[in-house]
């Protein structure tokens, strides 16, 4: 991977302009015994269906994402930035309006989520990670409260490891990520045709998730 591409990767999330406090999310309590059930997030798009699992050891991000998904926040938002061989990014409420120029800028007062990078998850193919403002304005690497990206590079984007919170993984629909990344886009890497999403959350037994999707819990 050449230097210019790495630089692009490090800077692409700095286009976000997040203004607001860190969200006063309650501190996760002692998890105790792990539940035998888990949530599967289904992302439906015009290009196909993507299914996600969220990591237990990034509890703030998991709680925030599930709350928004269950509440309908993401319905009608788009994947507003796609780069083949890199990632697809979405989840900005601005992408619901008719003005494509504000997509990715975030909304004033939206707040951020404290980083959970210490969990150590990597940017593997299909990793779900939180967008954020760049280090120059965000040295604590706090995450956007809404915007996320999915890694499209089949070898991963490991030069981002340890810099952004990875809090989930695609367990079905890796081909859909690649289809979205390959779509025609403008000079800002925004797809010419809106790629809107609808999210649904289903709670299943972990054993069932493993059987259906081949996902191995660690």
List the pLDDT tens digit at each of the 218 positions of the chain: 343 444 444 444 444 444 444 554 444 544 556 789 999 999 999 999 999 999 999 999 999 999 999 999 999 999 999 999 999 999 998 888 887 877 777 777 788 999 999 999 999 999 999 999 999 999 999 999 999 999 999 999 999 999 999 999 999 999 999 999 999 999 999 999 999 999 999 999 999 999 999 999 88
Q: Please tell me the predicted confidence (pLDDT) of residue 107.
A: 74
- Number of structural domains found in the chain: 1
Please check whether residue 144 is in contact with residue 50, taking contact to mean a CB–CB distance below 8 angstroms: no
Residues constituting the chain: 218
Residue carrying structure tokens 């009608």: 76
Note whether residue 122 is domain-resident. Answer: yes
CATH of the domain at 53: 2.40.100.10
Structural domain contains residue 47: yes
pLDDT tens, residue by residue, 155-207: 999 999 999 999 999 999 999 999 999 999 999 999 999 999 999 999 999 99
Check residue 12 and give its pLDDT. 46
Q: Answer whether residue 208 is part of any domain.
A: yes
Residue 15 is assigned to a structural domain of this protein: no
The predicted pLDDT at position 23 comes to 55
Angle at 42 between CA 44 and CA 160, to 5 degrees: 95
Residue 103 domain-assigned (yes or no):
yes
Domain assignment present for residue 13? The answer is no
What does the angle CA 204 – CA 208 – CA 218 come to, to the nearest 5 degrees? Answer: 95
Residue 7 lies in a domain: no
Has residue 3 been placed in a domain?
no
pLDDT digits (tens, 9 = 90+) for 136-147: 999 999 999 999
Question: 0.85 exceeded by the pTM?
Answer: yes
Which residues constitute the domain of residue 50? 37-213
8 A C-beta contact, residue 130 and residue 167: yes
């Amino acid at each position: 991977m050449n230097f210019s591409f790495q630089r692009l990767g490090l800077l692409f999330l700095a286009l976000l302009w997040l203004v607001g406090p860190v969200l006063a999310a309650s501190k996760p309590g002692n998890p105790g015994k792990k539940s035998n059930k888990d949530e599967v997030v289904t992302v439906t798009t015009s290009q196909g269906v993507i299914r996600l699992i969220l990591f237990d050891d990034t509890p703030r991000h998991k709680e925030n994402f599930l709350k928004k998904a269950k509440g309908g926040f993401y319905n009608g938002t788009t994947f507003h930035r796609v780069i083949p061989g890199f990632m697809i990014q979405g989840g900005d409420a601005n992408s619901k309006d008719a003005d494509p120029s504000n997509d990715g800028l975030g909304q004033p007062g939206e707040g951020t989520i404290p980083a959970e990078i210490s969990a150590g998850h990597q940017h593997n193919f299909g990793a779900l990670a939180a967008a954020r403002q760049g280090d120059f304005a965000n040295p604590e690497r706090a995450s956007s409260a809404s915007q996320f990206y999915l890694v499209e590079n089949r070898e991963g984007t490991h030069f981002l490891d340890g810099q952004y919170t990875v809090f989930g993984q695609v367990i079905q629909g890796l081909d859909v990520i690649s289809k979205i990344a390959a779509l025609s886009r403008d000079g800002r890497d925004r797809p010419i045709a809106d790629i809107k999403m609808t999210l649904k959350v289903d709670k299943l037994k972990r054993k069932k998730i493993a059987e259906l999707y081949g996902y191995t819990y660690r």
